[in-house]
A and B are shown apart, each in its own frame.
Chain A
């Protein structure tokens, strides 16, 4: 058996201790109980503060367990995501003139958790709650590309809805790789010919996405003849995704 990593072991001890005492501890007390030098313990708790597992009372300087620990293993609530994305999704629709959709991964499909109508007054139906095939939409590509479980892609049934649906594992793999490289995904006619989408990840924890936000509309309104999104679209999308991600932490 390989040896244990000392710093992780000590961090775990610090967390156990903070979880066992009835009130926040000053650094000196923590160091005494752990039987370690103050400087060592200071490094440990500072790191734990940084990742949200420990918090320091700004008034007293004492340490206690942070909410990051309780959140471990808890998925972001889809309705919380909808509430937080709402301003930015509306803004995106207002500025681009396109419909906006927000999705989260449900097994192998993308579930729409928010939908803003194309702001042109035309009759439209609220699509929240609908499941869309992940391999055939830009939203789905983003969710798959930043999914915590990459192997998911292997389980997908790659139905070819149109001639341009990525319907082989090679084609899908290439699309996801491109998405990861550029930080967003675009897809033209994946589900319906003449309809295109561009989507970006809403990041929560490092490397994974809790959801994807995207615009959809007639291909020529979303993409240029070259196939690249219209100028400025990607920047607006990334800004909305980023703004949403930064609000996911506060209570409401």
Chain B
């Protein structure tokens, strides 16, 4: 391969992007298409995997054309994807058997409740390092097997394939029904509830516990490794890596050493800290997960604070409440006032995620008085992201004994300076953003570039990191304490809202 650039596909919750990077890790091109969000019932959230594949095929040539490049200029392509989103497709037709169930979907509550009551909870915890929850992929797969007619039977015949979105894209890029490679990577596999966190392979006992036929499962591979060669999209280009988006961002932010952490603010917000060469199960509601694996090296692990709703609350404020015309305009509205007027928004739209994990919680707005205007609400929407970050930082510090001295951030919401200032204020540490906030894509590109020899090693990548902005904390300790206590009371009010009829 003689290419002078590497490409990344960032298949996110809201859109599919293709970015092209040069040797210094600088973005030279970006193409993006949004896909449809389907909410067929309260709590359900689906994507059409065929639409996602179609969008992927559109963004690839578009990104090349924007930078006036040809396929031969691309040394390798890496993939990052929305994690836990689950689909099953037919290997011979290449068609999904049902809509993909996304990570924001809460339909699996009953399956999970049953798992928690059943005899295998401890086995799941021991093997995966995770307590069963509706967030992970396996309960979604179980739901599909239960509800799509004939699926369980067909699954045993080997006609069908299960995958998260990176599996789907790699399979299609490498030929689909015509010789497509059926693989997943260790980070995505670590979010299924079916992988042994130490051996990085499927655990037959867990597959049996959920009655998942092994014939469905993709092969688990390291993140940095050539997975195959594209026959479609970027014909002839090697797929050099795949990553769950949040681990990709950790990699893109060059958090290669234990104790290094980043938080990505997109649809949700995800704080990950590298914990080194051993899994680090949490006592405080964080998730133990694989950070990355390089072919031929020991895997690295991470601890994760998952916040389901961050930018999505801004989107809700825009689309459902119609308070603003575009997401960035929330800052204009919020800056009309100096505080939230003592109101709080807790966006437990899909239950509370880290560190609480309460599926029965639902969102609340509390502290309403006639004083509160939409500008106060706008501010409370942004503050919700900051307080949720504070909660996971506290849990992480308590778990690991490592105090944060600063926080690296990325993602679309980092263009909101008021929000980032709030994060610095409530954490009482500086918050810094790297040049080029698309760390997810940077991480995917880095994986691909390492695998095909475009970059030699991690140290070269580390030297690419550049600071683009820093927000210094400027909140008094007293206001921080008061706000934090009020946030706790607000969270309290979300609990136990969902009850059985």
Contacts and interface: CB of A to CB of B under 8 A. Distances in A.
Interface string B438-475: 10000000000000000000000000001111110000
Interface string A117-131: 101010011101000
Contacts of A93: 435, 468
B329 interface: yes
B341 to A, nearest CB: 21
Given A116-B435, A116-B469, A126-B470, A91 B27 contact: yes
Contacts of B331: 79
Interface centre among B27, B28, B469, by most chain A C-beta atoms within 10 angstroms, is: B469
A121 B26 contact: no
Contact of A79 (B27, B328, B436, B468): B328
Given A87-B27, A93-B468, A94-B26, A252 B436 contact: no
Interface string B5-30: 00000000000000000001011101
A79 B332 contact: yes
Contacts of A80: 326, 328-329
A91 B436 contact: yes
A126 B30 contact: no
A251 B416 contact: no
Given A91-B26, A128-B417, A251 B468 contact: no
A189 B417 CA distance: 29
A156 B221 CA distance: 65
A86 interface: yes
B467 A78 contact: no
Nearest to B334: A79
Nearest to B30: A87
Contacts of A251: 325-326
A223 B32 CA distance: 36
A117 B328 contact: no
A119 B466 contact: yes
A244 B411 CA distance: 18
B415 interface: yes
Nearest to A113: B417
Contact of B467 (A95, A115, A119, A252): A119
A69 B471 CA distance: 38
A184 B238 CA distance: 42
A95 B26 contact: yes
A116 B435 CA distance: 8
Interface residues of A, number: 25
A83 interface: yes
Contacts of B466: 94, 117, 119, 121
B26 A79 contact: no
A80 B412 CA distance: 12
A95 B468 CA distance: 13
A82 B412 CA distance: 11
A90 B328 contact: no
Contact of B415 (A82, A117, A119): A82
A78 B438 CA distance: 22
A90 B30 CA distance: 13
Interface in A118-176: 119, 121, 124-126, 128
Interface in A220-252: 251-252
A50 interface: no
Contacts of B412: 83
A47 B6 CA distance: 43
Interface centre among B30, B412, B436, by most chain A C-beta atoms within 10 angstroms, is: B436
B327 interface: yes
B469 A115 contact: yes
Name the interface size band of chain B: 20 to 34
A30 B254 CA distance: 61
A77 interface: yes
B76 to A, nearest CB: 21
Interface string A70-91: 0000000111101110110011
Contacts of B438: 87
B336 to A, nearest CB: 12
Nearest to B335: A79
B471 A126 contact: yes
A78 B330 CA distance: 11
Contact of B468 (A78, A82, A84, A116): A116
Contacts of B330: 79
A213 B329 CA distance: 20
Interface in B321-367: 325-332
A82 B437 CA distance: 13
B387 to A, nearest CB: 21
A244 B416 CA distance: 17
Contacts of A94: 24, 26-27, 435-436, 466
A87 B20 CA distance: 13
A91 B438 CA distance: 12
A117 B468 CA distance: 5
B26 A83 contact: no
B435 A90 contact: yes
A230 to B, nearest CB: 18
Contacts of A91: 26-28, 436
Contacts of B415: 79, 82-83, 86
Contacts of A78: 332
B416 A79 contact: yes
Contacts of A128: 417
Nearest to A93: B435
A87 B328 CA distance: 15
Interface centre among B415, B417, B470, by most chain A C-beta atoms within 10 angstroms, is: B415
A86 B437 contact: yes
B469 A82 contact: no
Given A94-B435, A94-B436, A121 B332 contact: no
A117 to B, nearest CB: 5
A91 B325 CA distance: 27
Contact of B328 (A82, A116, A125): A82
Contacts of A125: 470
Contacts of B26: 91, 94-95
A27 to B, nearest CB: 30
Given A79-B331, A117-B470, 8 more contacts: A80-B328, A82-B417, A83-B326, A83-B412, A86-B415, A91-B27, A91-B436, A119-B435
6 contacts: A80-B326, A94-B26, A117-B470, A121-B466, A124-B470, A252-B326
Interface of B: 24, 26-28, 30, 325-332, 412, 415-417, 435-438, 466-471
4 closest A-B pairs by CB? A119-B466, A83-B328, A79-B331, A79-B328
